[in-house]
Amino acid sequence: MSAPDPIVAGETAGVAATRRLLSGGALRRHAGGVLKYALLALGAGLMILPFADMFVGALRGPADVYANPPRYLPSEPQWGVYARVFAELPMTRWFANSVIVTGLITAAQVATSVTAGYALAKYEFRGRASIFQLVVGAQMFPFFLFIIPIFFLLRFVPLMGGNDIAGQGGSGLLGTYAALCLPFIVTWYGVFLMRQFFMGIPDDLMEAARLDGASEYRIFRSIMLPLVKPAIATLTLFSFVYHWNEFIWTMTVTRSAPELQTLPVGIYLLQGAFESLDQKSLQQAALAVSILPVIVVFLALQRLFAASDTANAWQGGK
Amino acid sequence: MRPRTPRVVDGPAVGGWAPWLFLAPLLVFAFVFFLLPLGFSVWLSFTRWNPLGAPSWVGLRQFEYLLTRDDTFWRTVVNTFVFAFGFVAIGVPLALLLAFAFSRARGKAIWRQIYYLPQLTNIVAIAYLWQFVLDDRDGLINRALGAIGLRGPDWLTDPTMAMVSVVLVMIWYDAGKNMLIFSAALDGVDRAIYDAATLDGAGAWRTLRSVTLPIIRPAFTFVTITSFITGMGFFSLILAMTGGGPRGATEVTALYTYRMAFEDLRMGRASAGALILFAIIGALSLLQFRALRERSR
C-alpha cells in the first residue's frame, strides 16, 4: 500500500546548488559533461522507447501487420483507432470507473491524512506515541498480506449485499464501489507525510488563536489547513497516480463485476479480445488512453507545487 | 484573555477530545483494515478452507506442507529472491550512476519528467508495452538486432531469458524514482565540503570515496532496503507480463500464493504462504539493515 516518494517534490531545492557546482572546474566539466549527457540521453531514450513503440503500433493497420515481413512503421497511419477504442471496447465505462474510484480514494486519503497528521503533530494526549508507531510500523506490511483477509471481510459484512445478520448468504460489499475504495481510505504514508508538515508549523499560531477564543475546529480549518496546501497538493498527486494505476486489488474484486472495472483491469481482463494480430493496434491505443490522463494531471500539478515551498516544508518537518 | 482557555502556556496541551475526533477515521481503519485482517490471516493459516464450505482447523499442517513437501513453493521462493536480488544489484547502482549525471545536468525538469514516466504508468500497460517491444519475432528489439544480422534471444519464451526480461523491466520501471532520491541526497551535500577536500589535495576518486559516498549512505541504505522489500513482494508486473511462465520460470511466491487463493481456492494454505514470505522478507531486510549500518561505522 506504499505510495511513491515525495523526494521528487522536494527535490527542486537542489537546482540552485547544482548551478553552483556547474560554475567550478571548467576543464573537468567539459570532459565529464559529454559522458554525463550521453548517459542521461541513453537512459532517456530507453525510458521513452516502449511508449514510442506503443504510439507507432497503435497506428498500424491490417495491411501493415499482415505484410510479409510485417511492417514496423504504418504505411498509412490509422488515426481512427482512437475512436474505435471507445466504440468497440467498454472504454467509457472503464474510464468513468477509474475517475470515480480514484477521485473517491484520493479525497478520502487527503481528508484522513490531514486530520490524523494534524492530531499527531499538534496535540499531546495519552497514546500519541503508540499511534504514531502504528502509522510508521504499518507501512512495513506488504499489501499481498491483506488481499485474502480483506476480500473475505468485505464478503461477510452482515446485512449487506444479501447477507444475513451472520454475514452469510450473499456477496457482502463485493461488487460495489465500496469494495474498491474502503481498503484504501487511509494511507499510512500520507498520515506520516502530513504529520511531518504540521510539525514544521510553529505552535504559537494555535495558541494565539486559542487566546482569541477560536474553537479547535476553526483553528484547524482556518489557520492550519491553509498553511499545508503544498503538502496537500503533493499528497493529492501521489494518491491520484497510485490509485489510477492500482491493479491487483481492483482486479481481484471486479473479476466477476465488469461494470466496476477500471482502465488497467478492463484492458488486462479483456486479453482474449486482443489475440488476433490486427487487434494489437486496438490494444496499444487502449493502453495509450489509460496512460495519458496521469501524465496530463502530473504535468499540470507538478507546476503547481514546483512554485510552492514544498521543499522547505518537507525539510522543516524532519 | 478568556477564562475558557486555562492551559495555553506551554506546548500543545489543550484540545480535550479534539485530537481523538481528528484521529477517529484512522483508528477505525486501523482496526477494520489492518489489525482485523492480520489476525484473520494468521487464523486462516491454521485452517484448511475452501470458501464454498466452512474452515477446518489443521494446526501447523499448512506450514509443514509448504516448507517440507511443496517443491513448487521453494522454487517460487528462489525465483522471488532472484527477481529481488537482480533488481537491487543492478537497479540501485544504475540509479546512483544516473543520479550523479542528473544532479549536475542542465534541464533538470525535462530529464526528471522523462525518467519519471514509467512511475506514472499503470503496471498492465508497462507489461504489455514491453511484451510488444520484446516480442520474439516482431518486437522492436529483435527487429533491430535482425537488421544488423543478429538473431535476438527469445526474451519472453525462453525460461532464463524471461526472468532476465522481467528483472530488466522492473529496473526500468523503478530507475527514475531511485535516481531522484539519490539526486536529492547528492544535492544536500554542502559545496564547502568539496572545496575543503580539494584544498586538502584530494583527487576526484578520493573525494568520491571519502566525501560523497559516506554522505549519501543513508539514502543508499534506504533505497537498497525499500527496493529489496518492493522486489520481494512485487507480482503484478510478472502476472501481466509472463503470467509466471514459461513453465513457472518467473513464478514468484506472492503470485503463487495469490493464485493458490483465487484460482485453487485454498485460502488457508495461501495465507500460510503469504505469512512465510512476509517472515522471509522481514528477516532478510533486518540482515541488510544490520550489514549496511555496520559498514558505515
Separation of alpha carbons A228 and A219, rounded Å: 13
Around Cβ A16, how many Cβ atoms within 10 Å? 9
Decide if A110 is inside a domain. Answer: yes
- Nearest-CB residue to B26 (from A142, A144, A186): A186
CB contact under 8 A, A206 and B229: no
Q: List the single range of A18-32, A101-115, A175-189, B154-168 with lowest mean pLDDT.
A: A18-32
User: Looking at the complex, does the CB of residue B50 fall below 8 Å from at least one CB of chain A?
Assistant: no
Around Cβ B201, how many Cβ atoms within 10 Å? 7
**According to the model, what pLDDT value does residue B188 have?**
76
**According to the model, what pLDDT value does residue B256 have?**
96
**According to the model, what pLDDT value does residue A14 have?**
43
**How many Å lie between the alpha carbon of B249 and the closest alpha carbon of chain A?**
21
Separation of alpha carbons A252 and A248, rounded Å: 6
Q: In terms of residue numbers, what domain contains A159? A: 82-317
User: Looking at the complex, does the CB of residue A207 fall below 8 Å from at least one CB of chain B?
Assistant: yes
- Nearest-CB residue to B133 (from A43, A50, A298): A50
Sign of the CA dihedral A255, A260, A266, A268? negative
Residue A207 has pLDDT above 60, yes or no: yes
Separation of alpha carbons A302 and B112, rounded Å: 11
Domains held by chain A: number: 1
**According to the model, what pLDDT value does residue A13 have?**
40
Counting every residue written for chain B, the total comes to 297
Give A312's pLDDT tier (boundaries 50, 70, 90): very low
User: Looking at the complex, does the CB of residue B265 fall below 8 Å from at least one CB of chain A?
Assistant: no
Answer with the residue of higher pLDDT: A209 or B168: B168
A253-279 mean pLDDT: 88
**How many Å lie between the alpha carbon of B170 and the closest alpha carbon of chain A?**
12
Identify from B1, B23, B136, B259 which residue to disrupt to test chain A contact, counting A C-beta atoms within 10 A and taking the largest count.
Answer: B23
Comparing C-alpha atoms, which of B117, B152, B115 is closest to residue B136? Answer: B152
**According to the model, what pLDDT value does residue B12 have?**
47
**How many Å lie between the alpha carbon of A296 and the closest alpha carbon of chain B?**
10
Beta-bridge mates of residue B47: B57
Beta-bridge mates of residue B117: none
Half-sphere exposure of residue A165: CA atoms within 13 angstroms, side-chain side: 0
Residue of A nearest to B108 (CA): A15
**According to the model, what pLDDT value does residue B279 have?**
96
What distances in angstroms separate CA A299 from CA A7, A104, B114, one per listed residue? 16, 21, 11
**According to the model, what pLDDT value does residue A165 have?**
82
Residues of B in contact with A191 (CB under 8 A): 26
What distances in angstroms separate CA B117 from CA A103, A291, A294, B122, one per listed residue? 21, 10, 10, 10
Specify the CATH number for the domain of residue A220: 1.10.3720.10
Give A164's pLDDT tier (boundaries 50, 70, 90): confident
Separation of alpha carbons B257 and B273, rounded Å: 6
**According to the model, what pLDDT value does residue B15 have?**
66
Q: Which residues of chain B have pLDDT under 50?
A: 1-12, 297
Q: Do residues A274 and A57 make contact, with C-beta atoms less than 8 angstroms apart?
A: no
**Single-letter amino acid code for the residue at B88:** V
Decide if A111 is inside a domain. Answer: yes
CB contact under 8 A, B38 and A186: no
- What is the residue extent of each domain of chain B? 65-296
When mean pLDDT is compared over A126-130, A268-272, B2-6, B164-168, the highest value belongs to B164-168
In the CATH scheme, what is the code of domain B65-296? 1.10.3720.10
Give A26's pLDDT tier (boundaries 50, 70, 90): low
Expressed in percent and rounded to 5, the helix, strand and coil fractions of chain A are: 75, 0, 25
Q: Which residues 120-139 of A have a C-beta within 8 angstroms of B?
A: 120, 122-125, 128, 131, 134-135, 138
- Nearest-CB residue to A206 (from B12, B100, B111): B12
A67-86 mean pLDDT: 87
Residue A309 has pLDDT above 80, yes or no: no
User: Looking at the complex, does the CB of residue B277 fall below 8 Å from at least one CB of chain A?
Assistant: yes
Report DSSP state, residue B56: E
**According to the model, what pLDDT value does residue A31 have?**
65
**Single-letter amino acid code for the residue at A311:** A
Identify from B17, B27, B28, B33 which residue to disrupt to test chain A contact, counting A C-beta atoms within 10 A and taking the largest count.
Answer: B33
**According to the model, what pLDDT value does residue A10 have?**
39
Across chain A, mean pLDDT equals 84
User: Looking at the complex, does the CB of residue A10 fall below 8 Å from at least one CB of chain B?
Assistant: yes
User: Looking at the complex, does the CB of residue A208 fall below 8 Å from at least one CB of chain B?
Assistant: no
Q: Do residues B76 and B252 make contact, with C-beta atoms less than 8 angstroms apart?
A: yes
A194-221 mean pLDDT: 89
CB contact under 8 A, A5 and B177: yes
Decide if A232 is inside a domain. Answer: yes
**According to the model, what pLDDT value does residue A274 have?**
80
CB contact under 8 A, B33 and A182: yes
Comparing C-alpha atoms, which of A65, A32, A197, A51 is closest to residue B113? Answer: A51
**How many Å lie between the alpha carbon of A50 and the closest alpha carbon of chain B?**
6
Decide if A298 is inside a domain. Answer: yes
CB contact under 8 A, A18 and B103: yes
**How many Å lie between the alpha carbon of B109 and the closest alpha carbon of chain A?**
9
Decide if A165 is inside a domain. Answer: yes
Decide if A33 is inside a domain. Answer: no
Residues of A in contact with B140 (CB under 8 A): 49, 53, 72
**According to the model, what pLDDT value does residue B10 have?**
45
**According to the model, what pLDDT value does residue A28 have?**
56
Give A305's pLDDT tier (boundaries 50, 70, 90): low
User: Looking at the complex, does the CB of residue A206 fall below 8 Å from at least one CB of chain B?
Assistant: yes
A172-178 mean pLDDT: 90
Identify from B124, B135, B155 which residue to disrupt to test chain A contact, counting A C-beta atoms within 10 A and taking the largest count.
Answer: B124
Interface predicted TM-score (ipTM): 0.88
Q: Which residues 108-167 of B have a C-beta within 8 angstroms of A?
A: 108-109, 111-126, 128-130, 132-133, 138, 140, 143
Give the percent of chain A with pLDDT over 70: 85
- Nearest-CB residue to B183 (from A11, A111, A298): A11
CB contact under 8 A, B140 and A220: no
